[in-house]
């Protein structure tokens, strides 16, 4: 088996080397022809920069960055603690489907300066939270389908990148036009691999006991949250609820989940296995990892290959009349106007910006 793979690996490496040579040649040409593509002199130009600049040039965008005035802000799609997300159109681009963006407005000067921002395309289906609230609860197949897609996402984050997501909840799950899920808002995500961290973060109803105890937590917190989410899909509300957050924490630490009498046996079993108070006993974190989750009887009938390649149709297909449709998103009040909005001064930046340096 290994001998069969070696030629493929060698061929892939040769292709990668050839592509790198092409990029490096473009890099050299761009350096000797400064009028071809403008670039700030603050750091060296890389091959990736050249490719990105060409894409911007083809789209009619300036290579030296965009300003808020380059967008038409149409509607607020969501709000969070630190930011507001707008549905926006780029004024300079007139091609259908290429001028639509979900634009997050926040002040993160260091992130922008380092050019380490990745963007998610606009998802017109809105939040799975909205569909769950309207339906009150999902049927078993819908719950199983979307739990399976989330399992693939968590498995990918853990197995390929060692990333703990740490904020799994219906509000952070969007639907695309075909009814497939996309996980958003990686503000609490952290690369851990086998390490532990001690930051208290997340949403109360979905926190794992070890996060509340502040005893150190790792990747296992996402499997706990998946169990909570499956329960919420089927029942219509999380298993641990109280009007007081401290009451929620006490119930989570106790770890006693009450199941409705009509809860399917396989669903009850996977929720119980995912929501083990001791993370070393938790399904997904025990030997076998995410594969053990996929092999659970709850997912009987799921073709994982079809699911991964999106050949399986989503059980909820949002109504989307056009690419710029925002009807599936909740209505949010407009933000304060310039006259009432506080000004973020340079003095404030010097004092507070360091707080966000690790976000």
**Is 104 annotated for ligand binding?**
yes
Q: Tell me, yes or no, if the pTM score tops 0.95.
A: no
The helix or strand, by DSSP H or E, that contains position 72, with its residue range, turns out to be strand 71-79
Say what the pLDDT of residue 33 is: 35
Which residue in this structure is represented by tokens 């030997």?
Answer: 287
Domain 128-308: which topology? Answer: Transferase(Phosphotransferase); domain 1 (1.10.510)
Q: Regarding predicted confidence, which is higher, 200 or 105? A: 200
Contact 57, 37 (CB under 8 A): yes
For the cut 90, the answer to whether the pLDDT of residue 163 exceeds it is yes
**pLDDT in the model for residue 74:** 75
Catalytic residue among 167, 176, 222, 325: 167
346 is catalytic: no
- Please state the rounded mean pLDDT for residues 121-126: 74
Tell me, yes or no, if the two domains 56-124+320-359 and 128-308 fold the same way. Answer: no
Q: Is the pLDDT of residue 53 over 60?
A: yes
Per-residue confidence band for 205, with pLDDT thresholds at 50, 70 and 90: very high
Please, which pLDDT band fits residue 72 given cuts at 50, 70 and 90? confident
Sheet of 100-105: strand order equals: 71-79, 84-90, 100-105
Q: Which own/partner pairs from 80-84 qualify as long-range (CB within 8 Å, at least 24 positions apart)? A: 80/185, 80/187, 82/106, 82/187, 82/356, 82/359, 84/335
C-alpha dihedral (237, 239, 245, 246), degrees to nearest 10: 170
Does the domain at 56-124+320-359 match CATH 3.30.200? Answer given as yes
Mean pLDDT throughout 285-289? 94
Q: 170-179, 251-260, 300-309: which has the minimum mean pLDDT? A: 170-179
Cα 138–chain centre separation: 22
For the segment 252-257, the average pLDDT, to the nearest whole number, is 94
Average pLDDT over residues 218-233: 98
SS3 124: coil
Cβ-Cβ contacts under 8 Å for 175 (sequence gap 6 or more): 123, 125, 126, 127, 128, 131, 181, 182, 314, 316, 318, 328
**Domain locations in the chain as residue ranges:** 56-124+320-359, 128-308
* Helix spans in 262-342 (H): 265-274, 289-294, 304-308
What size, in residues, is the chain? 359
| Mean model confidence pLDDT for the chain | 77
Position with higher pLDDT, 170 vs 88 = 170
- Using one digit for the tens of pLDDT, what is the confidence trace for 74-120? 777 766 655 667 777 777 766 666 667 667 665 555 445 544 455 66
Per-residue CA distances from 84 to 67, 73, 76, 90, 336 (Å): 16, 11, 7, 17, 12
CA distances from 312 to 6, 44, 131, 228, 307 (A): 33, 45, 19, 24, 5
Distance CA(205)–CA(273), nearest Å, equals 18
Q: Any idea which of 12-26, 203-217, 233-247 has the lowest mean pLDDT? A: 12-26
CA angle 228, 332, 354 (to 5 degrees): 75
What's the pLDDT at 123?
74
pLDDT in tens, 329-341: 666 666 655 444 5
pLDDT attached to residue 275: 97
Tokens, residue 145: 């389908």
**Quick one: pLDDT at residue 107?**
53
pLDDT at 85: 74
């Amino acid at each position: 088996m290994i001998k069969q793979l070696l030629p493929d690996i060698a061929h892939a490496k040769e292709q990668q080397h050839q592509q790198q040579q092409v990029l490096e040649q473009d890099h050299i040409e761009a350096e000797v022809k400064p009028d071809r593509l403008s670039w700030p002199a603050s750091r060296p130009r890389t091959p990736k920069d050249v490719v990105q600049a060409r894409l911007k040039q083809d789209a009619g965008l300036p290579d030296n960055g965009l300003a808020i005035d380059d967008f038409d802000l149409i509607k607020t799609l969501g709000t969070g603690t630190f930011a507001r997300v707008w549905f926006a159109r780029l004024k300079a681009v007139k091609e259908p489907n290429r001028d639509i963006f979900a634009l997050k407005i926040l002040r993160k000067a260091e992130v922008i300066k380092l050019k380490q921002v990745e963007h998610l395309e606009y998802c017109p289906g809105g939040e799975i939270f909205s569909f769950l609230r309207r339906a009150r609860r999902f049927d078993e197949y819908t719950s199983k389908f979307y739990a399976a897609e989330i399992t693939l996402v968590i498995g990918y984050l853990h197995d390929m990148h060692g990333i703990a997501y740490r904020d799994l909840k219906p509000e952070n799950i969007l639907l695309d036009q075909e009814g497939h899920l996309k996980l958003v808002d990686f503000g609490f995500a952290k690369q851990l691999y086998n390490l532990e961290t001690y930051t208290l973060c997340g949403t109360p109803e979905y926190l794992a006991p070890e996060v509340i105890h502040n005893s150190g937590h790792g990747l296992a917190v996402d499997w706990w949250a998946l169990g909570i989410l499956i329960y919420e899909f089927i029942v219509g509300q999380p298993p641990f609820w109280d009007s007081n957050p401290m009451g929620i924490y006490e119930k989570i630490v106790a770890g006693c989940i009450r199941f409705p009498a009509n809860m399917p046996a396989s669903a009850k079993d996977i929720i119980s296995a995912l929501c083990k108070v001791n993370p070393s006993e938790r399904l997904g974190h025990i030997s076998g990892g995410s594969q053990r989750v996929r092999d659970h009887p709850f997912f009987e009938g799921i073709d994982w290959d079809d699911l991964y390649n999106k050949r399986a149709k989503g059980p909820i297909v949002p109504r989307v009349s056009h690419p710029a449709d925002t009807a599936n998103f909740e209505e949010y009040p407009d933000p304060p106007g310039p006259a009432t909005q506080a000004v973020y001064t340079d003095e404030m930046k010097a004092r507070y910006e360091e707080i966000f340096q690790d976000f």
